[in-house]
Structure 1
C-alpha cells in the first residue's frame, strides 16, 4: 500500500477500500467495521472475514493511511482499538475510487474463460449447464430485488445502496444473454463440434479453416480493445 503520488497505489485491495470508506464516515474499531460491512451486504462486493479485515487495518496503519485513536473495553471482552482515517488515507481512497470510476479495468472473470472454452463439451451439456446457471441467476435477481425494496422501505439513503441496482442490472443482463445463447445452441443455430456419445471423443473436421486464428502481428489478426490493453482514457 502506498500514498497518493507514489508507485503502487493501484495495489490497494478491495477490502482496504471498503475499510477506508467506512472510516471516512466515522472512527471505528475493526469489529464495528466488520458489522457495518456485513449489515450493508458489502460481502457481495468484497471478501469480508474478521481475520482478513484485521490484517487490512494493520496494513493501513503501517502505511499511515489510518491511525489508532484509543482503546476501549466492554465487560470481559478484549480491548478494542478505534481507528481514524488520516488525511493521507482519505486522499488515497478518493484517488483510487476516482481511477476505478473513470476507466474500466480488465478483471478476468473466470466465467468468461468457461464460456470461451465451452466448445470442449458437447452442445447438449452446455445447454443444460447454462440453463442451470440461468435458474440460479434468476434467484439472484430476486434477492437483489428484495434487498433494494428493503433499503427503500427503510429509507436508507440511496448513496449507500445504489450499487445493488448495478448488481441487479448486470445479473439480469447476463441472464438475458445466457437464455438467448442457450436457446440458439439448443436449436442448432450455432456450429458446434460433434462428440462420440460412447467414448466422449471429439469428432473433428481437420479441414475447418475457422479453427486457426491469425497471430497478433498478422494484418488480419483480431483487433485488441483499447480498454482491455489498459490504455488511459481522457
Structure 2
C-alpha cells in the first residue's frame, strides 16, 4: 500500500467519493463536476480512469462488477477497500493539520510588483478585483444552489472557505490600492534598462593608429 503522502489530490477525491458509495469512474466524474470540485482538483474523464486504475493496483479500491447500457461501453463499478479507508483517513489528517506552502503565484507576483510602474500595478489590481468579484458571486450562487437542493453542508463546506478567501483577498487589494493612491506606500518608478552593449565592443574604442 502506498504511503498516504503519495496520494494525489485526484486520488483523494476518488477515494472520498467511493467512501460514500460504489460508483463507476464516469459516474464519479459526473458527481465531481456537479459539485464543482474541478475548482479544487484537476479532473478529466481520462485522468480519473487512470487515477482509479492506480488506486486498484495499490489495493485501495476494487471492482465489484461490470454493466453495459445499450450500445455504450462496459462500465466497471468500484468500491473502496479497508486499506483505501485507512489511506484516505491518513492523508486527510495530514492535509488538515499541516500548513503547506504550495508556492502560489499571486504572493510571488506581489513581491516583485515593484518592478512595474505604479499606474500599471493599479490597473492590474483593478482587473483582478473584477475577476475576484465574479468568482465570489459564482461561489455565493453555488451555495444557494446546493442549499436549495438540500445537500448536506458537510459536502460543500469548502465553498464557504473559498468565499472567505476571496473576500479576504479583495479586502487586502483594496487596502493596497488605497495605500498606493494616497502615497502611504512609497513606490519608486522602475529604472529604465541600461542600453545594450555593442556586439562589437572593439569598434567603440576607435581605430588604433
The normalised TM-score by structure 2 is 0.89
Q: CA shift at 1:202, angstroms? A: 6.0
Within the candidate set 80, 89, 111, 2:106 is matched to 111
Q: CA shift at 1:153, angstroms? A: 1.7
Larger Cα Rg: Structure 1 or Structure 2? 2
Equivalent residue number for residue 187 of structure 2: 192
Equivalent residues of 2:4, 2:90 under 8 A apart: no
Q: After superposition, what is the alpha-carbon deviation per residue over 1:94-133, rounded to whole angstroms, capped at 9, x for unaligned? A: 1111111112111111111111111111111011101110
Q: CA–CA distance in 2 between the matches of 1:140 and 1:202?
A: 37
Q: After superposition, what is the alpha-carbon deviation per residue over 1:179-200, rounded to whole angstroms, capped at 9, x for unaligned? A: 110221122221222236xxxx
Q: CA shift at 1:75, angstroms? A: 0.2
Higher helix share: 2
Within the candidate set 61, 85, 92, 2:56 is matched to 61
Q: Is 1:70 matched up with 2:68?
A: no
Equivalent residues of 1:137, 1:175 under 8 A apart: yes
Equivalent residue number for residue 163 of structure 1: 158
Within the candidate set 40, 63, 76, 1:45 is matched to 40
Gaps of 5+ in 2: 195-209
SS in 1 for 2:166: helix
Q: CA–CA distance in 1 between the matches of 2:138 and 2:156?
A: 14
Aligned residue runs from structure 1 range 188-227, under 5 A: 188-195=183-190, 201=192
Within the candidate set 91, 94, 108, 1:96 is matched to 91
The root-mean-square deviation of aligned C-alpha atoms, in Å, is 1.4
The normalised TM-score by structure 1 is 0.80
SS in 2 for 1:92: helix
